[in-house]
Structure 1
Amino acid sequence: MTPLLFGIFQYIGPNGTVGSAWQHPRDESANFTKLSHWTALAKKFEDAKLDFLLLADSYGFPALEGELIEASVREGRGIPHGDPMPLISALAAVTERLGFILTTSTTVEPPAANARRFATLDHFTEGRIGWNIVTGSSGATAAALMGKELIAHDLRYDMAEDYVDVNLTLWEGSWEDDALVLDKESATYADPEKVHLVHHEGPYFRTDGILNLPPSPQRTPLLVQAGASGRGRAFAGRNAEAVFVGGGEPATVAANVAGIRESAVAAGRPADAIKILVGALFITAPTSAEAWAKHEEMLAMSTPEGAAAIYAGNTGVDLLALDPDRPIGQTTTEMGQSNLERYLGKDGKPAPLVRAVLENFRRTGINGSVFVGSPEEVVDQIQEFVEATGVDGFLIQPHMTPDTYDDLIELILPVLRERGLARHEYEGDTLRERMFPGGGPHLPESHRGYDFRIGRRQ
């Protein structure tokens, strides 16, 4: 088994992904408004040779029928939630190799603004930036906040295709590789013949102009996507270089992995052109008994009301308002389709009852897999999960900050490295080279974005 990829999942707020850990005496997540909190974490992750830090984001918040969900406010679940963009320059200044993946939506800001911001950050990080492309998270409240109507789920993906095309047009088509001259003797900053106005007229977005700064180390940031709905998989097959999938039953994860790889092939790309990472929480301690005690402590801070608030904010479905002894009757949503499909009957199996859905979500959170045990037991579980699903790595969720990370670094990583499942050192200068060792910093020819390069599009 080759070394796995390991990224960290965080958002700019308190708590981990299961429960309300901010209330614990050792938890420091309530310091999320302090820059020193984040720079310390970034340095910790880089010292451990972890691949990247993903910062989730959404303008939305848990609400139902126009009213805030009280448990969300009281427990700090989904409220508050800050903007990760201002963090990156500070984190880049205290690190040299750690990658950063940022989440932005294709339904909020104009695509040209998104392109310029990511290109700037790719320069400032010297090629360590990725874009987690989302079409909407907590979509109803985000749309209302921006004074817009909620866009239908599949239409959002149609719009996202066009949105990505605008970004690719600007990143790949504005400047030739050798356009930047910087010749002081001739007073030539750039060769005007090699800087080009670009034009894109799509069904939803248009742009006429240039990306107003020279190409960054990666040109296009690493393109990332999350979500396993049918339309999401098709989008990933065409665009994504990495996909984050929710955890849960290995058979379900394996089916999602197979579907994503099939989508890549259908788009004319190799099946392994997409790295797939699964969301997971590792609870460990020197002994199994101690680890399970930590797990029970975590669950004591995870209420059904708090879990229901997060589920409602993501899917629009209020579990507490449904008959607990019946399955979820709703099969589609214009919001988080993946977390609704997660609890529908599949492959001849009956759908779980609402009470079981709520309890599972209370215990496992939005990303779905929790591994508990001694370091050796957790690594055994990791190895079995990878063999059963074919995933390329894990997007690690926090429970307690920084305890979850300290346990990962001090207890789990040494065992992973002993078994050849984690790298000892960083490879590659850019985030793309880290994810695809042996490749270059730019989009490969197999990715459709390569054809946006100057001279390739007619």
Structure 2
Amino acid sequence: MSPLIFASFQALSPNGVIGSSWRDPSNTQIDYLTIEHWTELAKKLESGGFDFLFFADTFGYPTLDGELIPFAVEAGYNVPMADPITIVSAIAAATSKLGVVLTNSTTHEKPAALARRFATLDHFTKGRIGWNIVSGGGQSSSTALFGEPMIPHDERYLQADDYLQICLRLWEGTWADDALRVDRESGVYADPDGVRQVSYEGNYLRTKGILNVPPSPQRTPLLLQAGTSSAGRDFAAHYAECVFVGGGDPAVVARNITAIRDRAEEIGRPRESVKFLVGAGFVVGTSQAEAQRKYENLLGFATLEHAAATFAWSTGVDLLKFDLDKPLPELRSDIGQTSLDRFRSPDGNGPTVREILEDYRQHGINGTTFVGTPETVADEVEAFVAATGADGFLVQQHITPGTHDDFIELLRPVLLKRGLMRPTREDVTLREQLLDAGPRVAATHPGAQLKFKTTADA
């Protein structure tokens, strides 16, 4: 088995992914609004062999029927959440190898603004930046916050297609590779023939102009995507280089991965050109009993009310309104269809509402938790990868820094011995690190067709 990709899943919030873990006295995540918290964590992850630091983010927050859920505020659960893009430059200055991936929606902000920001960050990080593309997040509350109408779920992906087409044209098509001269003697900063306006007219979005930032190491940041609804899978097959999928039943995870790889192959991209990362919790101890004690301590801060608030935030559905001992009825959501589909079984025998809530309480939004000794967890990781075809994991933070200390000090040596983790992270761009390819998008990626063409290329 080849070395796997490992990243740390974080948000600029006081909490982890299960319950109110900020209440644990050892949890330093309550310092999330200090620069030092993030630079120290980033240095720890880099020295511990992690490939990148992943920031989840959304403007949304838990609501039901348009009203704030008071429990979410009281428990510090998905409220508050600050803007992670503000910390990237500090992380870049404190590290030299660790990648940074930011979540940004294609719904609320114009694509030219996002393209300019990511191009700048790609320079500042020397090619270590990635974009996790989402078409929404906490959609009910975020659209109300911006005074915008709710766009139907599948239509958001059509708009996202326009969004990506604009960003890719700006990143790939504005500047020739040799346009930047910076020749003091001649007074030529850039060759005008090597800088062109790009244009695009879509059904939802349009542009005409240039990216006012010279070409960065990757040009296009590494493109990640999260969402396994039918529309999400098709979008991922076209554009994503890495896909973030929830855990849970390995058979369901395997079906989602296979479906996206099949679709990518249909449209002319190699199956292995898309990497898949599974969100999972890792609770590791020197003995099974110690690991279980850590897990039980964590669950002591989690209730079914936490679980219901998370489900409402990600789907707009209040599970507590249903009979807890019956399966969840067939539902559609313009807020988060993926979270609903996660509990659908092809044979129609889905879990009860109570079982869904308990799953969220025990595992958080992503559905898989490995609990045990380093050897036991490594065995389970190998088995999960073999069953699903996944390429790595987003390690869910529960207690900071405890989650990562245990991973690095206890689990990493076993993973290294088995060849499941790279000895060190290479000093290369994020795309080169994860895809074993060049710094630019692959020739089979849609972005490659939009590269600046000279007269000789035409």
Q: TM class, shorter-chain normalised? A: over 0.9
CA distance in 1, matches of 2:427, 2:223: 17
Distance apart, 1:328 and its partner CA: 1.3
Give TM-score scaled by structure 2 length: 0.98
- Which residue in 2 is equivalent to 1:372? 371
- Which residue in 1 is equivalent to 2:210? 210
Say if 1:371 and 1:378, in contact at 8 Å, map to a contact too.
Answer: yes
Write the letter of the residue equivalent to 1:155: E
Say if 2:96 and 2:427, in contact at 8 Å, map to a contact too.
Answer: no
CA distance in 2, matches of 1:23, 1:425: 34
CA distance in 2, matches of 1:150, 1:328: 24
- Which residue in 2 is equivalent to 1:302? 302
- Which residue in 2 is equivalent to 1:258? 258
Say if 1:236 and 1:263, in contact at 8 Å, map to a contact too.
Answer: no
- Write out per-residue CA displacement over residues 308-366 of structure 1, whole angstroms, 9 at most, x where no aligned residue: 1011010011011111122111421101111101112x231501111111111111110
Aligned length: 456
- Which residue in 2 is equivalent to 1:434? 433
- Which residue in 2 is equivalent to 1:385? 384
Identity of aligned residues (%): 51
CA distance in 2, matches of 1:266, 1:331: 30
Write the letter of the residue equivalent to 2:379: D
- Which residue in 2 is equivalent to 1:351? 350
Query: Helix, strand or coil: the match of 2:282?
Result: strand
Q: Which moved more, 1:298-307 or 1:156-165?
A: 298-307
CA distance in 1, matches of 2:433, 2:413: 20
- Which residue in 2 is equivalent to 1:245? 245
Write the letter of the residue equivalent to 2:415: L
- Write out per-residue CA displacement over residues 293-322 of structure 1, whole angstroms, 9 at most, x where no aligned residue: 111111111011111101101001101111
- Which residue in 1 is equivalent to 2:220? 220
Query: Helix, strand or coil: the match of 2:366?
Result: coil
Say if 1:241 and 1:273, in contact at 8 Å, map to a contact too.
Answer: yes
CA distance in 2, matches of 1:181, 1:256: 47
Query: Helix, strand or coil: the match of 2:244?
Result: strand
- Which residue in 2 is equivalent to 1:190? 190
Say if 1:237 and 1:266, in contact at 8 Å, map to a contact too.
Answer: no
Say if 1:13 and 1:82, in contact at 8 Å, map to a contact too.
Answer: yes
Kindly report the root-mean-square deviation, in angstroms, between the aligned alpha carbons of the 2 structures: 1.1
Write the letter of the residue equivalent to 2:452: I
Query: Helix, strand or coil: the match of 1:347?
Result: coil
Write the letter of the residue equivalent to 1:274: V
- Which residue in 1 is equivalent to 2:100? 100
Distance apart, 1:427 and its partner CA: 2.8
| 1:450 equivalenced with 2:448 (yes/no) | yes
CA distance in 1, matches of 2:110, 2:446: 22
Query: Helix, strand or coil: the match of 2:203?
Result: coil
CA distance in 2, matches of 1:197, 1:448: 19
- Which residue in 1 is equivalent to 2:62? 62
The 5 Å alignment of 1:280-291 reads 280-291=280-291
- Which residue in 1 is equivalent to 2:396? 397
Distance apart, 1:192 and its partner CA: 0.7
Ranges of 4+ aligned residues in structure 1 off by more than 4 Å: none
Query: Helix, strand or coil: the match of 2:371?
Result: strand
- Write out per-residue CA displacement over residues 156-202 of structure 1, whole angstroms, 9 at most, x where no aligned residue: 00000000000001001100000000111101101111111111111
- Write out per-residue CA displacement over residues 136-173 of structure 1, whole angstroms, 9 at most, x where no aligned residue: 01101000000011110000000000000000010011
CA distance in 1, matches of 2:326, 2:187: 74
Query: Helix, strand or coil: the match of 2:200?
Result: strand
- Which residue in 2 is equivalent to 1:408? 407
CA distance in 1, matches of 2:366, 2:359: 11
Say if 2:279 and 2:393, in contact at 8 Å, map to a contact too.
Answer: yes
CA distance in 2, matches of 1:353, 1:252: 17
CA distance in 2, matches of 1:159, 1:377: 44
CA distance in 1, matches of 2:435, 2:61: 35
Say if 2:291 and 2:373, in contact at 8 Å, map to a contact too.
Answer: yes
